[in-house]
Amino acid sequence: MITALFNSFKDLNILIIGDVMIDAYLWGKVDRISPEAPVPIVSVNKKESRLGGAANVALNIKALAARPIICAVVGDDAEGEEFLTLLAKEQINASGIVKIANRQTTVKTRVIGQNQQILRIDAETDAEITQEETQQVLTKFKQILDQQSIHAIIFEDYDKGLITPYLIEEVIKVAQEKNIPIVVDPKKRNFLSYKGVDVFKPNLKELKEGLKIDFDPKNSLELKNTVAQLQEKIASKSILLTLSELGVYVLNGEKESLTPAHIRTVADVSGAGDTVISVVATCIAAGADIFTAAQLGNLAGGLVCEKVGVVPVNKELLLQEALKL
């Protein structure tokens, strides 16, 4: 059954609406301190730019053999061009990208010396896009839906200004008319704006900030009550709460489940959330139930934590691990 589910991924088109960025890396070695200030000097010997943010979700969807399509904004700048080049290189559909003049394309540059991150430099704006720019994004979104079947929509929110309450409302309205499931990876700003979606996937920090509440996730009653409180506010069909080393908790109507995390050697947790949402959305698009989707997402998130840096999930490895379970 799991093998058949994985085989069906290749027939799916998944639309990702979210904040895209470039993850840039400068690698080098440190063997002296600057005479100008008490800071290390990194002699750079390697530079790399990768797709980040919602575009990393697209890479994960592609790694699962489904077809990702991104709907997003970039600046009309050199970095925006570089982003489009990276997309083309990965053969990811860019028909939903809107270029905005006088807006900065988000670039997160990590400076790594002796395999250790020394510094991160963020060049970005998190100002909300205007109503007119939102209309441009919605036009692209509707064109994509007219041109091909979309089997699921992911909202990948990084609070960088693309996703506004108006955009959320309009996309949900169209998706519900067309019966397309919506899966959400929320952030703080629009946390309670995603009403009536199919799967809402916050992590523990986002849930606490979004509801302005503190609770002990190890206390099953507190956990259950807090998620039920969120459910009352957003009326989502399912809530999938990721609890890092505690696993994932799912609430679907009256049914609930807590899947413990798989014990792994954690090398790097960055990008794990992107992997979880990608696997969950692809499974939902393929017709799997939320509990199966959550178990596979949990497993995939653990697998990518074994790798250093932001890397997409390995489909074959995920299938092998799932069959073992």
Residue numbers annotated as active site: 274
Dist. CA 159–CA 320, nearest whole Å? 35
In the numeric block, which tokens belong to residue 227? 């998620």
Rg (CA), the chain: 20
> CA nearest 113: which of 17, 35, 195, 45?
45
Q: Helix 78-89 to helix 54-63 angle, to the nearest 10 degrees?
A: 10
In the numeric block, which tokens belong to residue 211? 């509801």
Residue 30, strand partner residues: 42
Residue 256, strand partner residues: 251
The separation between CA 76 and the C-alpha centre of its own chain, rounded to angstroms, equals 24
